[in-house]
Structure 1
């Protein structure tokens, strides 16, 4: 079954994702996303009773790696939309699940409007937070429900192409943000919700990113997912699969760098023989193989722990941190072993290196993940 899924997604990724390029139009992105949804990838983790595939995190890791090997930006976009529903499953009402999950499973594109220009994700792990910590975006109750005001940073994934946004906003400012933040389901097109120009990140350009502006955005009471002050603990508990899926995306990047390099060193000659027959080339190629296998093994272990109810406190951050390190290491080797071709725009290695380094800052930096591992080991 795993091999069938891998081959199905690989064929799709080769045909419809690798051909997108780094600057797909909104129409091209949406078309590829719709195809991914029709294949069942966006609803993979949603139970069958809500229109999904009823799969597990092992399945999502396989799909995410295959998409990541074709284009990490698009893969990260699909992974976010596929894993954020974990919050709705964990904390949403039955009415919310039945209203939103079938639409998400069948192609509704989600964005998670969380981080802000002046609030890094690492602040959420402040050891002794006060009322001044946390998001500045506020959610005020009114007669019709809630009013949202604030600004989310220009790297919100899927901003500009999303059909709905999960907006995180403070419901109180007399307590730390970690215990005074709510999550709200806001359809695109809601009055007061606007998106800034498409951001140009170092990598992941096959996806879409942008600033989210909220100016008196009115939403009904049932837009609130879970309690008005418990969104962040719920997010951490219910969407660990997002980090594991994203880790798998970067295993795909590490694998793509290895495969691209193998083709190059097997076919390009130096001193009358293929490059791979020179020890100076063969040794880093062997290291590339180890990087892929080690990172994949950790991601699989973390995905299995999520599926089987195991201890994930160490495995999840470790898998994400290790996969990104493998991607950076392999993409760096690919650039070096390709020589002048490696630094040529459009040749492949430099794109993989940009994608890999962008991954370092996605969903907590590598240093924050390492601190999370260390905290779990105390």
Structure 2
């Protein structure tokens, strides 16, 4: 890392220790919206919300590796907060790739300054996210939400699933909706910028997930939401293809969040086994426990290296075929590492490990929720297999 990246990592680690950890509710309860706003404002003061946005729009012009360093530190403090912030930090990649100069100038400065929290309204209750990878999509495949032409704009109708990240806390939503009939979803889905206060936009009750409970997740309902034509991001019908090529940093950042979870579990295990005694000596001095601690260290470092490799590849403009392997590989390895490390931490803590509020069990629930974020392990591996086959 460069000296600047070392300084960035230390600044974020300090922010996590001073601001995030003390703000976490007891018993893994929901984070109040007021606290979320305060933490988001603190992240904006550090320049995190605009880290990946070019300087001309008020951002920091940072790299994907910068983002991975930030996401790991935040994830080690709390994965729910970190995942929500990662979404706001990386969704602007779609605007940078496909937005008009006017759209970028209108929306990006507010995101960079922390005045706009973003949500991506994609998944639907009865449409699997894996539809994106359907090798033979039919005309009835894809999202059910529709954006119908109406004069000089569109009217949006539909609903998004109850696990939309940042729903209920966001100031604007990037909504994905079908703009053509008789065409597979991958070729008929468009993206729209929808303000949170748009008439007809509403939310269901806040969902309580297995993990990431400090995040905000809810159903998003679109009941005749009218938007102007210049709310559409990119060409009509091409949003899903643009999303897959313009926001891989979202997956890499999310992977780094789970490296943070793995690291937090390893740190808890080391601290507990140094303090807890058995047979007159610390647990860590028993060979069986020492071997577990060694495995934790190896697992965290291996996952971090793969995430950093993927981040560097994005920064260096690697071949898309290479990225099609590296990015999902980083995500799967990071979540696997988080689950593995959290499970080991639970075991090493004994009865304390399964006690609510003690730490390890929360990390395990957060880790397992990782495969509900941006595709399951199997779908990511099928994507890797397809990329390998395409490359011969």
1:4 corresponding residue in structure 2: 7
1:205 corresponding residue in structure 2: 213
Does the 8 A contact of 1:20 with 1:206 survive in 2?
no
Report deviation, 1:190.
0.3
Report deviation, 1:284.
1.3
Report deviation, 1:373.
1.1
Alpha-carbon distance between aligned partners in 1 of 2:181 and 2:151, rounded to the nearest angstrom: 20
- Of the candidates 242, 248, 256, which is equivalent to residue 264 of structure 2? 256
Please say if 1:362 is aligned against 2:373: yes
1:145 corresponding residue in structure 2: 153
Task: Find the residue that maps to 1:154 and give its secondary structure.
Answer: strand
1:83 corresponding residue in structure 2: 90
**Larger deviation: 322-331 or 118-127?**
118-127
> Any stretches of 5+ residues in structure 1 without a counterpart?
none
Task: Find the residue that maps to 2:126 and give its secondary structure.
Answer: coil
Please say if 1:301 is aligned against 2:309: yes
Alpha-carbon distance between aligned partners in 1 of 2:178 and 2:279, rounded to the nearest angstrom: 65
Does the 8 A contact of 1:261 with 1:337 survive in 2?
yes
- Of the candidates 118, 121, 124, which is equivalent to residue 129 of structure 2? 121
* Matching of residues 1-378 of structure 1 within 5 Å: 1-21=4-24, 22=28, 23-107=30-114, 108-311=116-319, 312-378=323-389
Does the 8 A contact of 1:72 with 1:204 survive in 2?
yes
Task: Find the residue that maps to 1:8 and give its secondary structure.
Answer: helix
Alpha-carbon distance between aligned partners in 2 of 1:92 and 1:167, rounded to the nearest angstrom: 14
Alpha-carbon distance between aligned partners in 2 of 1:149 and 1:283, rounded to the nearest angstrom: 56
> Any stretches of 5+ residues in structure 2 without a counterpart?
none
Task: Find the residue that maps to 1:377 and give its secondary structure.
Answer: helix
Task: Find the residue that maps to 2:23 and give its secondary structure.
Answer: coil
Report deviation, 1:173.
2.1
Alpha-carbon distance between aligned partners in 2 of 1:258 and 1:10, rounded to the nearest angstrom: 17
After TM superposition, the runs of 4+ consecutive aligned structure 1 residues lying more than 6 A away are none
Alpha-carbon distance between aligned partners in 1 of 2:175 and 2:150, rounded to the nearest angstrom: 17
Task: Find the residue that maps to 1:129 and give its secondary structure.
Answer: coil
Per-residue Cα deviation, 1:116-140 (whole angstroms, up to 9, x for no partner): 0011111111110001100000000
Task: Find the residue that maps to 2:204 and give its secondary structure.
Answer: strand
Does the 8 A contact of 1:45 with 1:82 survive in 2?
yes
Alpha-carbon distance between aligned partners in 1 of 2:21 and 2:94, rounded to the nearest angstrom: 30
Does the 8 A contact of 1:43 with 1:51 survive in 2?
yes
Per-residue Cα deviation, 1:127-172 (whole angstroms, up to 9, x for no partner): 1000110000000010140000000000000000100000000001
Report deviation, 1:313.
1.3
Task: Find the residue that maps to 1:80 and give its secondary structure.
Answer: helix
Instruction: Figure out how many residues of one structure are paired with residues of the other and give that number.
Output: 378
Report deviation, 1:20.
2.7
Alpha-carbon distance between aligned partners in 2 of 1:38 and 1:162, rounded to the nearest angstrom: 18
Task: Find the residue that maps to 1:172 and give its secondary structure.
Answer: coil
TM-score by length of 2: 0.96
Report deviation, 1:6.
0.7
Alpha-carbon distance between aligned partners in 2 of 1:20 and 1:214, rounded to the nearest angstrom: 33
> Over aligned residues, Cα RMSD in angstroms?
0.7
Alpha-carbon distance between aligned partners in 2 of 1:364 and 1:34, rounded to the nearest angstrom: 30
Does the 8 A contact of 1:258 with 1:289 survive in 2?
yes
